[in-house]
Structure 1
Amino acid sequence: MIIVIFIAGAIEASQSSLLKIWKKKVADISVFETNIRFIGGLLAAYALTGDKMYVQKATDVANILLPAFETPTGIPYALVNPVSGRSHNWDWTNGGFSILSEFGSLQLEFDYLSQLTQNFIYSSKVSRIREVVLSVKTDDGLYPNYLHPKSGKWGPKHVSVGALGDSFYEYLLKSWIRSGKNDTVYKEMYDLALKSIKKYLLRYSRQNHLAYFIELKGKREVHKMDHLACFIVGLLALEALNENDIKRRSDTLKLAEEIANTCHESYIRTATGIGPESFRFTNDIEGMAISDKEKYYILRPEVIEGWFYLWRVTGKNKYREWCWVAAKNIEKYCRTTGGYSGIKNVYNAEVVHDDVQQSFVIAETFKYLYLTFSNDSIMPLNEWVFNTEAHAFPIIT
């Protein structure tokens, strides 16, 4: 919320909206969510204002998370108690595994915090994570979604660019970019990962040749894409923007646009013009949700985020048009008297709201819409990199 206000130019108004930090809370907190939302938001607020108070608050929050890293491998647990420091993983991971997208999405914030404070305990924590990931062999260059923080071994082979995997790959590329392209290890990891993803996960539908990425569960292929997985459109566009090789840039951008079209199809095939939580590809179904558990929309940003990046990179007006249509549909079907709400079935124009306004609708969905219709000189992509919650950090020059 703070960062949206700053980017929109209403800096003075933000003074009444300063983020409050609760140091005492009985419930456990998510290391990942606290990092990307709170630490990321506070560091971005500093980057945009120069007010060192935000750095101090980010430091306070980061220190609360540090006990989660006290594992035999240095791979952090998912949850930490802010008072006792007791840490553990989600019960549902079966076996005490840490999640790839969670422990792999910390370095942008922790490295930036160390840069600002000159306290390198934070960067050392994420450097250790990278060492462990590099030391553990993977099958076919694909990273499973689970790694055990005690043994340092991969869990069951479940590979996805959607839930549980997504932002790990995002942070590989963005960490290289934010370093001023000096940290080439992250770029090498990204290149190897994307090569394997394209080789083993990329598929095209039989009906209309729509590009999509499958999930792997062991040897079983799951022909499903999450709304979350549409983030890869923006990632590929950002890769293309920073690619010097002309052919590779062209190929990467082509794939980004193909996946963007698939995500667009998932939107226009619904009654609301808003895409579902996930959509499938079978002999009979193309780009649509099957079960009721997949038909909801909780104000997610990833599809709009991808179109924003493609607008910036290609200048093709259709991506702005797609964003505008999506914005109007969100306004039509998700707006309520008290804000914005998710909807339970995007295939029914008589919407039923879930009565929840997710914080990322402001931090991400609306921010990317705002930037899509703003001048490209606002948050230029050669000067800023966005974390996975769309908080902006300056690129090192």
Structure 2
Amino acid sequence: MVFRKLPGVSASGMGLRLSQKFVFLLFLSGLVTLCFGALFFLPDSVRLKRIFLSKTETQPVTVGSENDANKEHLKRAKDPDYLRGMTSSSAKGETTSTKLRPFTRKFSPVTRGAGTEDRPVGGRGDGAVAAEEHTISRSRTEAASERSTSSNHDPIKSDTFSYNTFRKCLLKAPLGKDMGKPSDPETAERRDKVREMMKFAWDNYKRYAWGKNELRPLTRNGHVGNMFGGLRGASIIDSLDTLYIMGLTEEYNDAKEWVQNSLELNSNGEASLFEVNIRYVGGLLSAFYLTGEEMFKRKVLELGEKLLPAFNTPTGIPRGVINLGSGTSWSWGWASAGSSILAEFGTLHLEFVHLTELSGNPIYTEKVMNIRKVLNKIEKPHGLYPNFLSPVSGNWVQHHVSMGGLGDSFYEYLIKSYLMSDRTDQDAKKMYYSALEAIEANLVQKSPGGLTYMAEWRGGILDHKMGHLACFSGGMVGISADDGPPEKRQHFLDLAAEITHTCHESYDRSATKLGPEAFRFDSGAEAMATRLSDRYYILRPEVVESYMYMWRLTHDPKYRQWGWEAVEALEQHCRVESGFSGIRDVYTTTVGHDNMQQSFFLSETLKYLYLLFSDDDLLSLDDWVFNTEAHPLPVVRSSCLQDDTAQHRTVAS
């Protein structure tokens, strides 16, 4: 290299300066190499990594069309073929609904043409959503970093939970005396019938759809769907506790073996946070608590970690969809302005508290308690909780309130969080009874014929319809009667009985004695579906769920009789040669089947019927609460657990 000689500087001097520069540059390059090595390889550098990587390695958010989202991602999703068959009616402004407790309890159909509150937002390219989209995209590296910092220890190897201690803290044996077998011969015979229905449904699932998510009984094949992000075996996970409490030992062992050897959690698909939580997390937790099988504990803690990145939003309110492999999360394409759904982010508390109990990692409880903080900060219109909330701003997006799809299980989890905490969670108690007061003031209505129902609220305007999903509320109000103001105890029991009676009427007024997806109280109709698109029944559990709770609370024999009527109707209209199927129109005895045996039929409908015809000590309500998929989770008696742990430590020392 040739250098121009500078005035007043000797050649030898220039050479000296060049060597100094070379040494300095060598030192500087070594320092930079060292820094970047620390940046990328030291375990505590994840935040620095995000600074450099989050803008360059983001994974684009890909969301299907609005119609695809409605058809494929709503809970208790109906048969896609049936949905396609309803296109013509939907185009006329009729509602197509699915179970959304949120996403099924479940999800409720997004109504077209009924006003801005029901109309899905357009594609993800909308200008109003574009700014938010930037915050939704997340890098694979960032997601992995979040997981690595979520716990200071291996959650799978946690030894902070003692199963023996847990069992000592139960007031009664989980399966009761003689597995809850009733002394009355007729009731015992009816319970045996429900057990036979479960075995029939399970055997056909195993024969034709083993390892798939659900059985298509008419075509005798399996259905996978895409609500679970590549996870398989939803019917297996949902059936574990039902098989166990029914004493179907061989079937339970087959299910356990599949979970141990074939349940693959390293999927890379787009999952509903809500659905994975209530079915897979709830099902595995319940199986562990009932049996003590450590394999279930390991599986559920591994899965629980995969859900944490969904909470990485400005408010901590999780988004509804998560890629279980990359950790990328986003909101449903049909949800207004990229909002999160009340019944989805409000239906995590029970399971996440138990994830903390099993792992010793407080992050799960912290995540759901933060949701409470956000909700307590924002103003509630007339004390009500609308169904859509922005995970970015923390503000309500629409003023649509429903005890059915989109809202339902949020309220259910408030009272059940209080009960599961051994009645110590005062925040949950306060939120529940305040919400119930607002619901009574704004939603509870009485029809001209004397039927009590819960209407939907749309910014102050009532829609006089009640969804099948909202029929869980009879049981919910019933189990909350003892813990409210003493002077309102009988009032709550009466309200619970009236709502349950209304839901029974929706069954009794149909030709099949099964209830429609939604029924109305206007234009002269009472407790009947007035739209063709609301006439279907997809093996839903909410009505028999309320029968079970009301039986345990009152022991009024009518609830068992109503439950038996439902069993007879299921047998007559939904049982086919190779399983059980939903039907398209409850008002005609010329039944058209939808070719889907929903996993919640095994988890909820048959379990609640079995419990209805069992003695009360089978999964006693003193010890257990049921998640929104009917998976029993134990009451957390912290003082008992802590005292036993302290005693154990004293003896050990």
Give the TM bin, normalised by the shorter chain. Answer: over 0.9
Structure 2 residue 625 is matched with structure 1 residue 362: no
Correspondent of 1:223 among 464, 467, 477 = 464
Say if 1:55 and 1:113, in contact at 8 Å, map to a contact too: no
Structure 2 matches for 1:183-222, cutoff 5 A?
183-206=425-448, 208-222=449-463
Q: For residue 480 of structure 2, give the secondary structure of its aligned residue in structure 1.
A: helix
Indicate which of 162, 167, 172 corresponds to 2:404: 162
1:245 shift after superposition: 4.8
Deviation per residue, 1:284-336 (Å, 9 max, x gap): 11110011110000000000000110000000000000000011101110011
Residues 117-196 of structure 1 mapped to structure 2, 5 A cutoff:
117-196=359-438
Shift of 1:136: 1.0
What is the aligned counterpart of 1:38 among 280, 285, 303? 280
Question: 2:492 is matched with which residue: 236, 241, 252?
Answer: 252
Which residue matches 1:77? Answer: 319
Q: Which is worse superposed, 385-394 or 242-251?
A: 242-251
Amino acid at match of 2:446: Y
Per-residue CA deviation, residues 171-220 of structure 1 (Å, 9 max, x unaligned), is 000000000001110000001000000011011111x1100011011232
**1:353 aligns to 2:590 (yes or no):** no
Query: Which structure: larger Rg?
Result: 2
Partners of 2:266 and 2:397 in 1: CA distance: 34
Residue 141 of structure 1, CA deviation: 0.7
Are the structure 2 counterparts of residues 113 and 11 from structure 1 closer, same or farther at C-alpha, using a change threshold of 3 Å? farther
Q: Is the 8 A contact 2:509 2:528 kept in 1?
A: yes
SS at the partner of 1:379? coil
Matched, 1:24 2:262: no
Q: Deviations over 1:17-69 (max 9, x none)?
A: 12343223343001000000000011101110112221111111111111111
Is the counterpart of residue 233 in structure 1 residue 471 in structure 2? no
Deviation at 1:79, TM superposition (A): 0.5
- 2:307 maps to a residue whose letter is L
Letter of the 2:536 partner, please give it: Y
Deviations 1:72-131 (A, max 9, x none): 100001011111111111100121000000000001000011012111111111111111
**Unpaired segments ≥5 residues, structure 2:** 1-238, 638-653
Q: Which residues of 2 match residues 210-359 of structure 1 at below 5 A?
A: 210-240=451-481, 242-243=482-483, 245-359=485-599
2:348 maps to what in 1? Answer: 106
Maintained 8 Å contact 1:383/1:395: yes
Report the identity percentage: 47
- Separation (CA, whole Å) in 2 of partners of 1:164 and 1:244: 25
Q: Give the number of the structure with larger relative contact order, counting CA–CA contacts within 8 Å between residues 6 or more apart.
A: 2
Contact 1:100 1:145 in 2 (8 A): yes
Relative to 1, partners in 2 of residues 1:9 and 1:100: Cα closer, same or farther, differing over 3 Å? same
The letter for the 2-side match of 1:116 is: L
2:284 alignment partner AA: L
Residue range with higher mean Cα deviation, 353-362 or 6-15 = 6-15
SS in structure 1 opposite 2:571? helix
Summarize the Cα distance change of 1:10–1:91 in structure 2 as closer, same or farther, 3 Å threshold: same
- Secondary structure at the aligned position of 1:73 is classed as coil
Distance 2:286 2:376 in 1: 29
Aligned partners of 2:466 and 2:447: how far apart in 1? 12
Q: How many residues align?
A: 395
- Superposition TM-score, scaled by structure 2 size: 0.60
3-state SS of paired residue (1:257): helix
**Structure 1 gap segments, 5+ residues each:** none
Distance 1:71 1:181 in 2: 31
Residues 349-358 or 216-225, more deviating: 216-225
1:16 Cα deviation from its structure 2 partner: 1.2
Q: Which aligned runs of 4 or more in structure 1 are off by greater than 6 angstroms?
A: none
Residue 56 of structure 2 is matched in structure 1 by: none
